[in-house]
Amino acid sequence: MNINTVLFLAFIFPFLSIAQVTVAGNTAGVYVAGTDINPFAGIRIGPPPSGLPGGGSLAPPSNFYDSDIEPTSVVLEWDNVTGNDGYEIYMNGTYLATVATDINSYTASGLTTDTNYLFKIATIDNGAIGSFTFENNVRLGLYPPEVPLVATGYSVPSEPSNTTPYTNAFGLTEQKVSQRSVLGDVDEVEGDYAKLQRWNINEEYMRTQGFPGEYFDGDDYQARANENGKRFMSFDPNFPDDSYAGDNNTFTIVRNGSTLFTRTFNIANGATRNYDSGKNLLQTAEAGMSYYPDENGDYFAALEATVGTQYYCIVYNITQNEIVSERAAPDPENGWYAISPKGNYVVIQVSAGFSNSGLTIRNNNAGQTDVNGAGNEYPFPGHGDLGISMQGNEVFVGRYSNRIRMVRLDNGVENDFFGGTTRISHVSCKNTLQPGWAFVDDWKPNDYATYSGTEQAAYRKFFAIKLDENTTGIANVLTRTYALHFANDVADADGHNEWYGVPDHSGERLSFNNWHPAPATATFKELYVAQLLP
143-156 pLDDT, tens digit per residue, is 655 677 788 888 88
Three-class secondary structure assignment of 71-109:
CCCEEEECCCCCCCCCEEEEECCEEEEEECCCCCEEEEC
- Nearest CA-CA partner of 5 in 382, 363, 407, 299: 382
Confidence (pLDDT) at 231: 66
Q: Which residues on adjacent β-strands are paired with residue 530? A: 174, 510
Write down the pLDDT at residue 487: 65
The per-residue pLDDT for 95 is 92
Model confidence at 401: pLDDT above 90: no
What band does 280 get if pLDDT is binned at 50, 70 and 90? low
Percent of the chain with pLDDT over 70: 75
Specify burial of residue 509 (Cβ count, 10 A radius: 0-12, 13-18, 19+). buried
**CA atoms of 435 and 389, how far apart (whole Å):** 7
Report the length, in residues, of the chain. 534
Among 102-106, 464-468, 469-473, name the one with the lowest average pLDDT. Answer: 469-473
Q: How far apart are CA 403 and CA 409, in angstroms?
A: 19
pLDDT at 350: 67
Local confidence band at 114 (pLDDT 50, 70, 90 cut-offs): confident
What percent of the chain is helix, strand and coil (3-state, nearest 5)?
5, 35, 60
Give the whole-angstrom CA distance, residue 31 versus residue 242.
28
Q: Is the peptide bond before 519 cis (omega within 30 degrees of 0)?
A: yes
Q: Is the separation of the CB atoms in 156 and 145 below 8 Å? A: no
pLDDT for 164: 95
Task: Report whether pLDDT(16) > 70.
Answer: no
pLDDT at position 519 is 53
Neighbours of 169 (CB within 10 A): 16
User: What is the model's pLDDT at position 173?
Assistant: 94
- Mean pLDDT for the stretch of residues 398-424: 79
Q: Is the pLDDT of residue 226 over 60?
A: yes
Rounded to the nearest 5 degrees, what angle is found at the Cα of 262, between the Cα atoms of 259 and 265?
Answer: 165
Q: Is 489 helix (H, G, I), strand (E, B) or coil?
A: helix
pLDDT of residue 5: 38
pLDDT of residue 122: 92
Residue 335: pLDDT band with limits 50, 70, 90? confident
Please give the pLDDT value at position 288. 63
**Architecture field, domain 33-139:** Sandwich (2.60)
283, exposed or middle or buried, with CB in 10 Å at 0-12, 13-18, 19+?
middle
Greatest alpha-carbon span in the chain: 73
Residue 448 half-sphere exposure toward CB, CA atoms < 13 A:
15
Distance (Å, whole) CA 398 – CA 98? 38
Backbone CA torsion sign across 276, 280, 285, 287? positive
The mean pLDDT value for 465-475 works out to 76
In this prediction, residues 525-532 reach a mean pLDDT of 91
Hey, which bits of 234-360 come out as E strands?
A: 243-247, 250-255, 258-264, 300-307, 310-317, 322-329, 336-339, 345-351
Tell me what the mean pLDDT of segment 401-406 comes to.
Answer: 81
**DSSP one-letter string for 326-379:** EEEE---TTSEEEE-TTSSEEEEEEETTSTT-S-----SSTTSPPSS-TT----
pLDDT at 14: 30
Q: How far is CA 419 from the centre of its chain?
A: 21
Looking at the predicted structure, is the pLDDT value of residue 290 above 90?
no
Confidence class for position 390, pLDDT limits 50, 70, 90: confident
- What confidence tens digit (pLDDT) does each residue in 173-193 have? 999 999 988 988 888 888 888
What's the rounded Cα separation, in Å, for the pair 205 and 216?
6
Is the confidence at residue 157, as pLDDT, over 50? Answer: yes
- C-alpha to C-alpha distance for 208 and 430, rounded to whole angstroms: 15
Give CA torsion, residues 206, 229, 336, 344, to 10 deg: -80
Locate CATH 2.60.40.10 in the chain: 33-139
Q: Give yes or no for a contact between 369 and 47, defined as CB atoms under 8 angstroms apart.
A: no
Q: Percent of the chain at pLDDT above 90? A: 18
Q: Is-above-0.85 flag for pTM? A: no
Q: Which of 226-230, 411-415, 472-476 has maximum average pLDDT?
A: 411-415
Indicate whether 509 pLDDT > 90.
yes
Mean pLDDT taken over the chain? 75
Nearest Cα neighbor of 439 from 524, 516, 515, 506 is 506
Alpha-carbon span 430 to 286, nearest angstrom: 11
CA distance 343 to 174: 34
Question: What pLDDT does residue 474 have?
Answer: 63
In the chain, the N- to C-terminal Cα span, in Å, equals 34
CB atoms within 10 A of CB 29: 26
What pLDDT score does 145 carry? 58
